Amino acid sequence: MIHERRKFVRLKSEVKVKYRTFKKGKIQESLTKDIGGGGIRLSLNEKLAVATPLALEIKIPGEERTILAEGRVVWVKSLGGEKVTKGFEAGIAFTQIDPTDQSEILKYVYNQIY
């Protein structure tokens, strides 16, 4: 039996995200692979360490305002194997998000599913 640890449903969807680590400060652009009320899975061109804190700007399709949140990397996976790097995926758990913004993400997810 598979036990799901997530509290929120995830939607496979490409949503534009800008992120920066608190150490480097350089803003990077990415797309989500999936999104939910508790976090996102991001496509990355760089390998981030697990537990890296991030500042996030999430642009929900059809919405004018940008959602601001903070998150931390909970897992990282290389997409190219050990010798050839073709990018990475990372699971990001929200650590700080306004409840209104979280509701906006949940609304987007549920509207796409149902």
Domain of 47, CATH number, reads: 2.40.10.220
Domain span including residue 61: 10-113
Domain membership flag for residue 32: yes
Residue 92 predicted with pLDDT over 80: yes
Pull the structure tokens for residue 56: 């996030």
Q: How far is CA 101 from the centre of its chain?
A: 14
- Quick one: average pLDDT of 80-94? 80
CA–CA dist 28, 19 (Å, integer): 5
pLDDT for residue 4 = 47
Total domain count for the chain?
A: 1
pLDDT for residue 99 = 96
- pTM, full prediction: 0.87
Are the C-beta atoms of 32 and 14 separated by less than 8 Å?
A: yes
Residue 59 predicted with pLDDT over 60: yes
Q: Percentage of the chain surpassing pLDDT 70?
A: 89
